[in-house]
Amino acid sequence: MSVRVGIDLGGTSAKIAWVSPSKKILKDVSVSTGGFPDAKALVKKMAEAIREMLKGKKPTHIGVGVAGDIDSKAGVIRISPNLGWKNLGLKKLIQAEFKCAVIVENDANAAAWGLYKIQAPANATDVIVMTLGTGVGGGIIIDGKLHRGATGSAGEVGHMNIEENGHLCNCGNRGCLETYVGGPHLVKRAKAALSSGQKSSLQDAFKADPDSITPLLLARAADAGDAFALSIWAGVGRALGLAIGDLVYVLNPQMIYFTGGIAQAGDLILKPLWETLEKRTFKTPVHAVKIKVAKNAAHIGVIGASLL
Amino acid sequence: MSVRVGIDLGGTSAKIAWVSPSKKILKDVSVSTGGFPDAKALVKKMAEAIREMLKGKKPTHIGVGVAGDIDSKAGVIRISPNLGWKNLGLKKLIQAEFKCAVIVENDANAAAWGLYKIQAPANATDVIVMTLGTGVGGGIIIDGKLHRGATGSAGEVGHMNIEENGHLCNCGNRGCLETYVGGPHLVKRAKAALSSGQKSSLQDAFKADPDSITPLLLARAADAGDAFALSIWAGVGRALGLAIGDLVYVLNPQMIYFTGGIAQAGDLILKPLWETLEKRTFKTPVHAVKIKVAKNAAHIGVIGASLL
C-alpha cells in the first residue's frame, strides 16, 4: 500500500500533506521555512513533521514542488530565489531521511499535475494549466504525462511574447504575457491611468486610498459596467487570446485550465479571450479546446506534488 | 518482415516509395495527381503503381502524407485545398486495395517524423521541425512520439503570432510568423523597397527584371555584404527568434531543425535568431536547445510517411 506525501515548499512555509490513493488529504501540517533556510536543517525539520504526521507508517513516495529552476531528473534545485538555494541536491537530502521514491519538481508543474489528476476528465490527455496571479506560470500535460522538456523548464507560458517592445517584465525582457495579465501590472497601470484623470467609477476609491485598487476591485467595477475597468480586463483577455492562439497552433490541446487570483475574473477575461481566438485562429483546433477556470484549488500544489 | 510504403501526396504528383527497415528508399515511383483528382480513381492508380513497384510483395504498412487538415485517428482528410478534397476517408479507400496498416497524416508531420527518425541523435526525444519555404509549417516530436494534439492540428508554427497588427497572412490573420519568413513575403517586400529606391546592390538586377529577385538572390547579396539584403535576413531571424523563444519557454526542446528553401540561408538567419534568443529568453532552456538546418531532405516526406 503506497503512502504518498506531498510537499509544497515556499519561501515562507512548507505545506506537507499525506494524500490518499483517492487523492484526498488525510492529514496535513505546515513547517515554517522563514526565508533562506539552511537546507539540511529544514529537511530534518520536515522529516520530523512527516514522521509525526504518518504515526509509524513509512512514506513510499515523497513529491516536492519548489518555486525555481529545477532539474527534476537529478532532483536538484538549480536556483530558487525564494529559498535562496543554488545547486542543491534536495532529493539526496530527503532520501537520507526516508528510503523511498522522491521527486523534486517545479511548483507550477506540481500544481498543474494535481489539477490534471483531480479536475480533468478521464479522456483528456493534452491539457495546459495556466496560473494567472502575481506572475503567470504553467504546466503542460501531453499524452497524459507531465511534459518537462530538456531541462525541466517547459510550461513557462508567462514569458511568451505578446509584443516585442511592450511593457517591461520582471524577467528583464519586454512584452511578456505576464506583463499583460499579472496582478501587479494591472494595478500599476490602472493607478497610473486613474492618477492622470481617467474617467471611471473607481476615481473615488482611488482618491480615498490608491492602494484600494486591487484586481478584485477592478473586477467588481467591470461587473458593474465601468468602461475603464472593462477595458483593463479586455486587455487581459486579448493578450491571453494571442498566447493561447499560439498554444493552440503548436499543441492543439483538449483543455486549458486557469487558476490563480486573476483567473477569478472569469467571463471578464474569457469573453475577450474567445473573441480574439475566434477572430485569429483556425477553426478546427480552436473549436476543439475547452478553456475553464479551475475549481477551488487551494491544495492542488501539495496534492499534485504527492502524485508526481 | 515488414514492407513499408510511403506516399507523399500533393496537388501535382504523388511520390511513392518502398522504404527499407534501415530507412532507405529501395524503389520509388511517381503518379500524377493533376489537381482535384477523383479520389477513388487516384487510389486505384496508386495501388497499381505500388503493386508494380513491390513486384509480388505485399505491403504491411502504408503511410500517406497529405497537405491539409487531416483527422489522422480516423484516416480522414477533413480538407485538402491542393487536392480539392473534403471529408474524404482516404484510409478506407486504401484499405479496400491493401489489407495492411494504413496511416494518413498531415504532410508536415510526416516530414517532421522522417527527419526525426533519420537525422536526430538517438537520445533526442523532444524535437521541433520547422519547414521554412513558401509557407512555414512544422511538426513536433515529444517524448519520442509525433505530437498530433486533439484534432491532429498540432505543429502549425507558421501561424504563431509575431505582431498583432503585422503583415497580412494568407490565412486572413495578421502578423503570423509565416509573413516574416515565407519566401513570397520576403520577395514582395524586397521588391517594394527596391521599387521605391532602396539603396542596394540588387537595384541593377531588379531594374533589369523584377522577377529575378528571389530568396536565393537575396541570400547571395547578403553574403556579399549588401546591407539591405542583410536587413531582410535579420528580420527573418528576429521573427524566428521571437517564435522559437515561445517554443523554448513552452516546450523546452532539445533540438529544432529547419528544412525548406528559406532555411538554406543558414547563418544569415541563425545569427540574428540567436541574438534574439540570447537577449530575450531564459538561459537554462535556451542553452539546452540546438538549432540546425537539416541535411538535404529531398525524400524526407515520403520516408517519414512510410515510418509513421
For A174-184, letters b (16+ CB in 10 Å) and e give: bbbbbbbbbbe
Residues contacting residue A214 through CB under 8 Å, at least 6 positions apart: A183, A187
Low-confidence ranges of chain A (pLDDT < 70): none
How far apart are alpha carbons B11 and B231 in whole angstroms?
Answer: 35
Of B69, B159, B249, the CB nearest to A156: B249
For residue A111, give how far its alpha carbon lies from the nearest alpha carbon of chain B (Å): 16
- Between positions 207 and 266 of B, the ones with CB within 8 A of A are 242, 245-247, 249-254
Q: According to the model, what pLDDT value does residue B82 have?
A: 82
Average pLDDT in chain B: 94
- Between positions 165 and 184 of A, the ones with CB within 8 A of B are 171, 173
Other beta carbons within 10 Å of B189: 15
How far apart are alpha carbons B46 and B9 in whole angstroms?
Answer: 10
Q: According to the model, what pLDDT value does residue A227 have?
A: 98
Q: Flag if B160 and A250 touch (Cβ within 8 Å).
A: yes
pLDDT confidence bin for B234, thresholds 50/70/90: very high
Q: Flag if B249 and A143 touch (Cβ within 8 Å).
A: no
What ipTM does the predicted assembly reach?
0.91
pLDDT confidence bin for B222, thresholds 50/70/90: very high
Q: Tally A–B CB contacts below 8 A.
A: 140
Place of cell 506534488: A305
Of A154, A163, A252, the CB nearest to B153: A252
Of B145, B152, B160, the CB nearest to A249: B160
Sheet holding A127-132, edge to edge: A145-146, A136-142, A127-132, A255-259, A290-293
B47 touches chain A (CB under 8 A): no
Q: Under a CB-based contact definition with an 8 Å cutoff, are residues B114 and B304 in contact? A: yes
Q: According to the model, what pLDDT value does residue A281 have?
A: 86
A285 touches chain B (CB under 8 A): yes
pLDDT digits (tens, 9 = 90+) for A229-269: 999 999 999 999 999 999 999 999 999 999 999 999 999 99
Place of cell 479551475: A294
